[in-house]
Chain A
Amino acid sequence: MAPAEAASPLSEENFARIVDALGSDPARRSELIGFLDERHSVYRERGTAAVARMRGWTLLTLARRPLQNDEVVFVLEELQTGRTAYEVACAARAMRSTANPVPAMASLLLRAAANVRAVDDHVDLVRYGGVNDAEDASSTATDVLIDTLAWLGTAVAGVREVVETALQSGDPPLSPRQRERVERCLAQCTAGAVGGPPACCTPGAGWTGLRRWLARTRADPHAIAFEDQDGGLVRYGDFFRGQPTVVVFFYTRCNNAGKCSLSVSKLARIQRMLVEAGLGHRVQTAAITYDPDYDLAPRLRGYAQSRGMRMDARNRVMRSVEGAAELRLHFELGVNFISSIVNRHRIEAFLVDGQGNITTSFERLQWDEQQVMSEAVALADRTDATAPADACGGTPPATVVSPAKRKRIWLAPLAYLAMALLPKCPICGATYLSLSGIMALPHLGHIYWMVPALAVLVVINLASLGWLARTREDWRAFALALLGGALTIGGGIALDHQASIYAGIAVSLIGGMLGLAGTRVVLGGGRANAGTTCARPTLRLGPSPEPASSSSLETLATPAR
């Protein structure tokens, strides 16, 4: 009897068609890149092998056109840590489309060869699926890697030196057969200067910023509670408090030694380095599992212990017992699942400050312990310098924004609020109020309703300035406010570009002031009609407007600055 079918997700065959279609449309390249995000829903409830096939095919398709710098990171990631013959071969092939190859990429090709020496297999990079057992099909993943090495050697000078150094040092450890093949291809490599590391390694900002915005609106880290390796319970806000923390994510059933096991081992090394430097009391460490259902406390303890981790109140191995979804959102974890089991994840480590804010993330590529430790210590220095003690001499409770910053956030808008309360036309009041909000809200990052509220305020601001502009027939203030709104929401929030937020606020402010500059306040005397609106501005910045038609409109003086 055939088993009942569960609801079918997108078939791999259809996925391949979609990827092919996206690959032939340059305008939709960002959607293609989106498939390289581990969290993409298309990977949910898929086995690891299926995910590897899908990602590999995506890489191959992307590489039909030259790879830009911010796309190369996915290739490098796979070469550095991949353990699947097919996906590594795809990455190696994709590397040949790199717009700006550098000799250092040879190291990663050799690293990949070492990684796949025990899992090498014939691969088919023409058809989706990756398997071609025809007798005349003879490419293995190693073959593709060596071929790419040969290509690199002719594409850019300096590869020979990189390879010779690696062969001499024995790092990475190639099999004798691989070594022999690498030596043969050396002859094709052009000698030259080695140069620096690949110029790349940050995924494209566009979709990242938007995703981050979406995530931040929903994540509430204070809903997260952990159980540690001893069964002790601790809330997010209580653990990530007072001191910076180095956080890595892992799970005990990860079978890629270059990811989870190495991450936890490295965290243990950071612990030792901190203690040796006399800094163990200033920085915490935490290893958090992706797999809280399975990685119960004894498993966590055993796993961490066997990798040399020290465990105490400041150094914990934990699983989430509440708020697992919030945890994933808050850290924007690059992980996906089949049932409750991780089917794919990236390398990720974070620095969290003493207020529970994530300040730095190290994603995709293997991170250096010394660098992470240095950044953690620097964060500790900053934390010590700015954190005020409470009345009892302890550290203050977790806050999202420092008091000094909070003061700045509210001061200026209060001024506008005061101005808004002064008698004037409602449109100007709306303008002031909306400007206040636009100035304050972007700094309160973790309020979930921030972005919609900000959008509403921008619309109000634009509407009011638009009304003013229409009456004065001078659209410059409106144009500036429109530009400011676009910078704040589009560049600053969606694209996560900090400078755009400040630029947007500044431009909105100029636009708002320009728009309000031509109004006059009627103080005492006179009659202010209910619902009256602003008259034409008295401040002329450009050609004289046509004389206003006589009207019952009140004029407003320029408000005091």
Chain B
Amino acid sequence: MKAEIFVNDSQEPGARYVGWSPSPARIRLSDSGGATRNVKITLSATSAPSGGQLVFYTAPASTPKASVTLDLSPDGTPVSFHVAGKFGKASQADRDVSIVAKAGAETLASLPVMVRIRKDATTLTPGERDRFIDAFARLNNRGTGRFADFRNMHVTGAASAQAHGNPGFLSWHRAYLLDLERELQAIDPSVALPYWRFDKPAPSLFTPEFLGASDALGSVVFGPTNPLQFWSTDGVQGVKRRPLFDTATEGGVDLLTEAQTLALGTDFIDFETLEGDPHGSAHVSFGGSISSIGTAAKDPLFFLLHANVDRLWAKWQRKNNRFDPADAASYDNAPGHPVGHRLTDTMWPWNGVTGAPRPLDAPGGSLAGSPCTTSPGPQPRVMDCLDYQGLVSPQGRLGFDYDDVRFA
């Protein structure tokens, strides 16, 4: 007797990635072994040492459990369930946890998956770190890769107004990071974008093995085995970054702590002031590319900085239950905001709209898709970025989670 398991409603290997949010899954008997009645199976997980752990849901709103029991029809009709990572037990390597279906003692199916989570960069294992920088370096590929589009999306002028200075700042950057992360996952599906917790010291981040160590001049030095040594943007080789603080013992300069940020207010119109502090303060905690809006995206650190900004938003959303665009406190949708910042607006450049008031061109095309979810779609709207865990609508799940922001 054999069974087949589909995660995220797909047989694609690229779909076998879950976060804290329940992912739809199905199981069916592919070989009933002559059974004529329903077969009771148990779904559970087996993990490698330090591997991820899973929980199962019989229905999205049900209580998650370490294992569930399902009845499978001998005719092969699939039965739905949901699977997610157990909060706090993310994977450290690809396929280090498996969904196991057993009928009694007999194993009918075993599907390796990964609990793929965005983590604090300082907590990454060497393997996780190396996979991330490898994928990132290849995405950059001396400035010829897709990374050039990400760099060109974050420049001054009309492009800047699409992403900053108005309520859509957080949604835009969430979509931006998601697009980048999916491109990284197209290179290595086991990669998730880590974040730089900028209000805390991050000694292991600013090293030649990871994002580079800055010399006195502010030129970033990478180790001989670090592929980021080949980083290039705008036709210029290397990264310019000069920390204005001791990265080993301090966080960024004069910026709000996480607690202070989460206490900005329970209404989005108060919380969005984080764009100034701690976001702006984090940027100007350095000399170098990351400290000016037009050059910030030249530094790979930029994306980890913004991953933390996004994580702060996610944490604030969780704390105040602000996932629903219909909730006025979840977003500042006052009239008068420019195009690209209202809830129902699509966002440049993914919408391909050019010409005033949008910029003249739209590099990069639509937002990358994912085998794990259909959201937010190739041309996301501002509102599509709020319900990132699919709490309001399961279809709204964006396919990422943070290590310290639970699902429910």
Footprint of B on A, CB under 8 Å?
A: 114, 117-119, 169-173, 252-253, 255, 257-258, 261-262, 265, 294, 296, 298-299, 302-303, 306-308
Contact = CB atoms under 8 A, between A and B. Distances in A.
Nearest to B235: A253
A296 B141 CA distance: 13
A262 B361 contact: yes
Contacts of B265: none
A118 B157 contact: yes
B361 A302 contact: no
Nearest to B236: A253
Nearest to B357: A173
B362 to A, nearest CB: 8
A292 B259 CA distance: 53
A170 B356 contact: yes
A302 B145 contact: yes
B365 A257 contact: no
Interface string B116-149: 0000000000000000000000000101111011
**Cβ-closest 5 pairs across A and B:** A171-B356, A118-B157, A173-B357, A298-B144, A118-B156
A261 B361 contact: yes
A172 B144 contact: no
30 contacts: A118-B156, A118-B157, A118-B158, A169-B356, A170-B357, A171-B355, A173-B356, A252-B235, A253-B234, A253-B235, A255-B234, A257-B359, A258-B360, A261-B360, A262-B361, A265-B360, A265-B361, A296-B144, A298-B141, A299-B143, A302-B144, A302-B148, A306-B146, A306-B148, A306-B149, A306-B152, A306-B364, A307-B361, A307-B363, A308-B365
Given A114-B356, A118-B158, A173-B158, 17 more contacts: A114-B158, A118-B160, A119-B156, A119-B157, A170-B356, A171-B355, A171-B357, A253-B235, A262-B361, A265-B354, A298-B141, A299-B143, A302-B146, A306-B146, A306-B148, A306-B152, A306-B363
Interface string B219-253: 00000000000000011000000000000000000
Contacts of B148: 302-303, 306
A119 B235 CA distance: 21
Q: Which interface class (under 10, 10 to 19, 20 to 34, 35 or more) fits B?
A: 20 to 34
Nearest to A259: B360
A236 B234 CA distance: 30
Contacts of A262: 360-361
Contact of A172 (B143, B161, B356): B356
Nearest to B293: A118
Contacts of A255: 234
Contacts of B143: 299
A258 B355 CA distance: 11
B144 A299 contact: yes
A545 to B, nearest CB: 73
A298 B140 CA distance: 12
Interface in B340-362: 352, 354-357, 359-362
A306 B151 CA distance: 12
A258 B155 CA distance: 14
Given A257-B360, A262-B360, A306 B365 contact: yes
Contacts of B365: 306, 308
A169 B365 CA distance: 26
Contacts of A117: 157
B49 to A, nearest CB: 41
Given A171-B355, A262-B361, A257 B157 contact: yes
**Most chain-B Cβ atoms within 10 A of its Cβ — which of A114, A117, A298, A302?**
A302
A546 to B, nearest CB: 77
Contacts of A261: 360-361, 363
Contacts of B356: 114, 169-173
A39 to B, nearest CB: 23
B309 to A, nearest CB: 22
A306 B350 CA distance: 11
A303 B354 CA distance: 17
Interface in B145-183: 145-146, 148-149, 152, 156-158, 160-161
Interface in B243-295: none
Nearest to B153: A306
Nearest to B339: A170
Nearest to A366: B360
B61 to A, nearest CB: 42
Contacts of B357: 170-171, 173
A302 B364 CA distance: 9
A173 B360 CA distance: 11
A370 to B, nearest CB: 14
Contact of B235 (A169, A257, A294, A298): A294
A180 B357 CA distance: 17
A240 B29 CA distance: 60
Nearest to A263: B361
- Chain B CB count within 10 A is highest, among A119, A255, A257, A299, for A257
A308 B146 CA distance: 13
B50 to A, nearest CB: 38
B180 to A, nearest CB: 14
B371 to A, nearest CB: 22
A258 B157 CA distance: 12
Contacts of A172: 356
